A and B are shown apart, each in its own frame.
Chain A
């Protein structure tokens, strides 16, 4: 177990290092931020002075070494715009992003797993085909479009829900639904195909031969076997939900990490972007680790000795 933990920790460090390095150089390609912080008619000398003050005049490798040295100590610098600590700025947005991502995840699992199980059990019936059609639709709709339509219907026309913003459960409903739509499709289809596979197994026949009612076979005996591969998919999707909530956060003006990153990128607020990338990569790695442990919990055959 200790070996395993050490191995996983080293993996996480490598992932973080590669993520930060890649993003550092790519973001520098987008150009110099100084021009964005000064009025368009600012004199050349003033621009140069500002650039020097921020350290952007130095060679790239010097900037990189300095950045990495500070980053290892948890210092990502201050936001170029607000002058506040970049990492702190990003951390402040985490609760909102988590709230949205986990609500969307919970919602999509709650909808998708029962649909998937029933589609598999009643395969090739009307229920199955309607279910598949709906899930394909959910997967095909782009989230910005679905988000706008939901805003139009529920916020503008019916005035039941706010158009955007954060702070309460009411504000959470539309963005969570929009974000869940895509995952529902994936989860439902995956549950269906895995369940179909499991239902053909010998041990399901044994369960039937023991006189266990079908609902119990589906909801207990087959479900636990079906969940094993789903957990992996959930992990992958949670990463997408956390990082990919950008569009949904922007559409609904949700005060989360995605929207902050989007704004910071447009402003070339490098320290905030780097802190954000670091945090997302870190969260992603931790989720993957947790999932592997969960995996062992559900599947006794791979328990770590």
Chain B
């Protein structure tokens, strides 16, 4: 898989938000690469910078409050941070598209499904009206929507949540993007519908060479979908490795905590475990390791000195005392 060409390279991305209490570092020096055809999961609790990272890539940060302070986002050889709004617009919905968390509110209530799905094709292709209609219908059919010819003239409120998320997926897939960013695509759905949507996304992945950046806080979804995982905490990547390694041999105490807090289907004996405390507010991040106040094995060094991201073979971790330490440090940044 690694021989494939990188499609997205994010280098030292820093995204800041201006607030009444000063500047908040929502994304604080994030590096990652996504290769063609690969699914990378970004995991973390609410407020850890997952969504801000994806909005930075899409160029959809709520300006002027949020902005990219520094760093580069290379997509198919172009630096997205240097593109004009017009150039970005040509990429959005075309080469990069996005699925959002809330299918109930992500579709415009006063336009029909057909009207909304036609728009990206109108913007990015030269198809005529009839061709667009046919393309939309066949896309709706391919995401498993029954009665596509009728649904195209219906309004979002006439569809269920699962159907709406299928519509959102078809909207994102219309122009056959090279990269799909899915921001918690199943969080708002019923469990049974979640499984269907994940199956659908896997099926789509299997037939295209599209890369996917999957943002979630559900490790079950990660295990199901992803090739590699990146764990974020307080705006930084704290651990990154392929999905097997993360599940079998987590090195960062935060990753371990996340895994431990996953309920398992067959066990009902004890209490669910949780990580004490909550993600620090971005303006209250301690000087040392951001996770130190919640970490059971934190030492004075953790509290004073910020750990660097170190690589152990193909596993990167930002911790002074990695658990289940692999052989040796190969390099560090």
Contacts and interface: CB of A to CB of B under 8 A. Distances in A.
B140 interface: no
A208 B92 contact: yes
B313 interface: no
Given A202-B100, A206-B168, A206-B171, A211 B91 contact: yes
Contacts of A228: 110
A225 B157 CA distance: 14
A209 interface: yes
Interface residues of A, number: 20
Interface of A: 201-203, 205-213, 221, 224-225, 228, 298-301
B93 interface: yes
A300 B109 contact: yes
18 contacts: A201-B105, A202-B100, A205-B100, A205-B106, A206-B106, A209-B58, A209-B100, A209-B172, A210-B93, A210-B123, A210-B171, A211-B92, A211-B94, A212-B123, A213-B89, A221-B111, A224-B111, A300-B110
B60 interface: yes
Contacts of A300: 109-110, 155, 157
In the complex, the 7 A-B pairs of residues with the closest C-beta atoms, listed nearest first: A211-B93, A210-B93, A211-B92, A202-B105, A203-B108, A210-B120, A300-B155
A208, A211, A298 — most chain B CB neighbours (10 Å): A211
Contacts of B92: 208-211
A209 B123 CA distance: 12
B97 A210 contact: yes
Contacts of B124: 211
Main secondary structure of the interface of B (DSSP, over half): mixed
Interface in B83-111: 89-94, 97-98, 100, 102, 105-111
Interface SS of A by simple majority: helix
B8 to A, nearest CB: 16
Contact of B155 (A207, A211, A213, A301): A301
B155 A206 contact: no
A298 B106 CA distance: 19
B47 to A, nearest CB: 19
B177 to A, nearest CB: 11
Interface in B193-231: none
B105 A211 contact: no
Contacts of B94: 211
Contacts of A202: 100, 102, 105-106
B56 to A, nearest CB: 13
Contacts of B60: 205, 208-209
A211 B90 contact: yes
Nearest to A201: B105
Interface in B124-154: 124
Contacts of A203: 105-109
A298 B110 CA distance: 7
A221 B122 CA distance: 15
Contacts of B90: 211
A13 to B, nearest CB: 33
Nearest to A200: B62
Given A203-B108, A210-B93, A210-B123, 7 more contacts: A206-B116, A208-B60, A212-B119, A213-B89, A225-B109, A300-B110, A301-B109
A218 to B, nearest CB: 13
A228 B100 CA distance: 25
**Which of A202, A221, A228 lies at the interface centre, i.e. has the most chain B CB atoms within 10 A of its CB?**
A202
A80 B3 CA distance: 99
A211 B89 CA distance: 5
B165 to A, nearest CB: 12
Contacts of B102: 202
Contact of B100 (A206, A221, A298, A301): A206
B140 to A, nearest CB: 16
Contacts of A212: 89, 93, 119-120, 123
B144 to A, nearest CB: 20
A202 B100 CA distance: 9
B267 to A, nearest CB: 37
B123 A211 contact: yes
Contacts of B116: 206
A31 B15 CA distance: 75
Given A300-B155, A300-B157, A301-B157, A209 B111 contact: no
B90 to A, nearest CB: 7
Nearest to B154: A300
A211 B110 contact: no
Nearest to A208: B60
Nearest to A300: B155
Nearest to A221: B108
Contacts of B58: 209
A225 B91 contact: no
